[in-house]
Structure 1
Amino acid sequence: MSRSQRLLDLLQLLRRYKYPVSAETLASKLDVSVRTIYRDIATLQAQRADIRGEAGVGYILKPSSDLPPMMFTVEELEALRLGAEWVAKQANGEFSEAVNNALAKIAAVLPSEHEAKHREDVIRVASTINAPAVMVDLSELKQAIKHEDKAEISYIDAKGAISCRVIWPMLIGMFELHHVLVAWCETKQAYRNFRLERIQSWQNLQQKYQPSRHALLSEWQALEGINHSFNRY
């Protein structure tokens, strides 16, 4: 591996950590010596990379507009494309336009010699989504979740009974056979999963719920035994 490539790999590795990481851990990940990590850190700092820390304490990369964007590998681009295509086929095409725009922006900034521009796809996402049609406007659900607004819904349960409920929408889960809204239900005083195709009507009440969505999600994940950490390192 060339030194320039190693420096890029070190930057990319540092981007993945939210907290200081030791030189020993970095050396193990990159299969180099700790002394090499010290030298490379010093080189990156000299090139205006905002890396804080010191030997024996650990290092962390602070966000900086001075750093150029990392160039994607072919494998990383393929993973992004496949994930984007899968998302585009969910939610009745809700994200199709956004996906196409995102992929076009990525393609536009790739240099002409990048291998991804001259490589045929070897994996594609098939149209296997069989979720029933949803009667409510998904954009209204997303808006309520983002703004932490309460909503009143008319819902048909598995037995066909219709009920009117006030809920605190938190998260939309997309599965192959159905889409689910995770929410706190004031009627049941408990967290509930609502199948989107069973929601007959939706009214945003323009009332903020408390505690925050973040706090509710943390509690729900703990109750469900879901380990959902964005920082895995």
Structure 2
Amino acid sequence: MRRAERLFQIVQLIRGRRLSTADFLAQRLEVSVRTVYRDVADLQAQGVPIEGEAGVGYRMRPEFDLPPLMFTKDEARALVAAVRIAQPRLDMALARQADEALSKILAVLPLDARAAAESLAVYAPPVRQDDGTRARLEVLRIAAESRQKVHLRYLDLKDQMSERLVRPLGCFYWSDVWTLAAWCEVREDFRSFRVDRIREVGVQDVRFRDEPGKTLADLFRVVEARRENFVSSRV
């Protein structure tokens, strides 16, 4: 990689993250940490508003921007593949926005890169997901992003109906099923709900804040601990 390309990549990596350490940048660029220190210092001397210091991390001041990026043929093909695979599985709003975003990218590509991207031999067949499920998925995704509590009427796999008040934490896709990961205030524990088995969704005006033991990060820790316990029990 030429030095000019490396400097450009450093800017892109720093502006795309809240904080980037020199170790992270060195690993991504496959150079030494000393090289990263020198390159960042050069960028700062040229007026690029990178804040931070060696040993702590770097971030970009929010007002900084660059001209529109140009993608390589391989990068454009990767974007096409990602959208084709994801689009049939997303909620309708995200699927439409993904298609619009891809159209904008393809429109500004050079003809050869656009032709290579559009001729990509990677396709994703439609999934069995009814419009009602996709509509609920959109509501749950937005509720998780806005951190609003949700009231659910849920039919479990034993065909037992229950009502729950939950804190939606995230939507997860498992091959052909979407689930909602949430903190259930009825069970006072983490629970997972299949979106296709949710019968009613009522977004509440009540917003929630992170509380110790009830966050998505806490859920990941619980899942990882259970996985490790399962593995150790089988050794």
TM bucket by the smaller chain? 0.7 to 0.9
Matched residue SS, 1:119: helix
> What TM-score do the two structures reach when normalised by structure 2?
0.75
Contact preservation (8 Å) 2:76, 2:114? no
Match of 1:198 in 2: 197
Match of 1:116 in 2: 113
Q: Which has the higher contact order (CA 8 A, sep 6+)?
A: 1
Contact preservation (8 Å) 2:22, 2:36? no
Match of 1:21 in 2: 22
Change (3 A) 1:20 1:143: closer
Q: Which runs of 5+ in 1 are unaligned?
A: 227-233
Q: Which runs of 5+ in 2 are unaligned?
A: 226-235
Between the two proteins, what is the percent identity of the paired residues? 25
Q: 1:87 aligned to 2:86?
A: yes
> What TM-score do the two structures reach when normalised by structure 1?
0.75
Q: Which moved more, 1:133-142 or 1:186-195?
A: 133-142
Question: C-alpha root-mean-square deviation of aligned residues, in Å?
Answer: 3.5
Q: Matched residues in 2 for 1:51 and 1:59: separation?
A: 10
Contact preservation (8 Å) 1:149, 1:205? yes
Q: Matched residues in 2 for 1:218 and 1:59: separation?
A: 22
Matched residue SS, 2:22: coil
**Code of the aligned partner of 1:4:** A
Matched residue SS, 1:225: helix
Matched residue SS, 2:74: helix
Match of 1:9 in 2: 9
Which of 39, 48, 58 in structure 2 is aligned with 1:60? Answer: 58
**Code of the aligned partner of 2:203:** N
**Code of the aligned partner of 1:177:** D
Contact preservation (8 Å) 1:49, 1:61? no
Deviation at 1:51, TM superposition (A): 3.0
